[in-house]
Amino acid sequence: MGQDRTEDALAKKGRMVALVIAGSMLLWILAQWIAPMLGVPGRFVFLFDFAVLAALIWSMVVTYQIWRARQDTKG
């Protein structure tokens, strides 16, 4: 019973990581495409880049935590 809850929680975390990666990449692509049309200065476009980079670093950390948790439950 406890094993199932742990697996469900890890699966939920995995889905969240997948959504963050997909959403941040979509946001980054849209920002790179729309910013020149709106005449946004390059220094503001870098803010989008850094925000996406932070999201990807966060997703790598959470992915590592999921991996470690699955290793611990294996035995």
**pLDDT at site 26:** 97
**pLDDT at site 73:** 82
Residue 75: is its pLDDT beyond 90? no
Residue 72 banded pLDDT, cuts 50, 70, 90: confident
Residue 2: is its pLDDT beyond 70? no
DSSP track, the chain: -HHHHHHHHHHHHHHHHHHHHHHHHHHHHHHHHHHHHHT--HHHHHHHHHHHHHHHHHHHHHHHHHHHHHHHHH-
Looking at every residue in the chain, the average pLDDT score rounds to: 92
- More confident: 58 or 73: 58
